[in-house]
Amino acid sequence: MTAVSLFGTTFQNSVLLASGTAAFGREVRGVIDLDALGGIVTKAVTPEPRQGNPPPRVAEFAGGMLNSVGLANPGLAAARTRELPWLAANLRRARVLVNVAGGSVDDYVSVIEGLTDLAVISAFEINASCPNTDAGGLEFGATPDGLRGLVRRCRRAT
């Protein structure tokens, strides 16, 4: 496959695992060669650990499936000290993108500020589908102004 450059970052190929499909990589290490990918987008990272929604989290039907995982994740501290160092030690060529989530703009900024110095991270993916608790639960990406404000603050944090 051909290398691809996007916003100043070069990926060895255009195959990236979507957010959460491989969690933080350990879960699929014996199934696929993560380093053969262009990159892996991690499971969401929030400031604090989240248990996520209670089961059942997935409903299958003839036309597809629905899921409601609830952003279960180990939180910023564990991502920084356990998950991302594992990726740094086990990937040589594949890029790491961290999915960032939160209930407020400050949550997103705190995660980015807490991780931005880690060399293993090539980029952050902003999970704009999260409900903004400061705006009555409206998703950050539901309005252009809401999304613009979120992205602006996140970019300043890098």
Distance CA 27, CA 126 (A): 23
Sequence-distant (≥ 6) Cβ neighbours of residue 133 within 8 angstroms = 103, 104
Euclidean distance between CA atoms 77 and 59, whole angstroms: 31
Q: Which of 130, 132, 140, 150 is catalytic?
A: 130
Residue 130 falls in the annotated catalytic set: yes
Instruction: Give the burial class of 75: count Cβ atoms within 10 A of its Cβ; 0-12 exposed, 13-18 middle, 19 or more buried.
Output: middle
| Residues labelled as active-site residues | 130
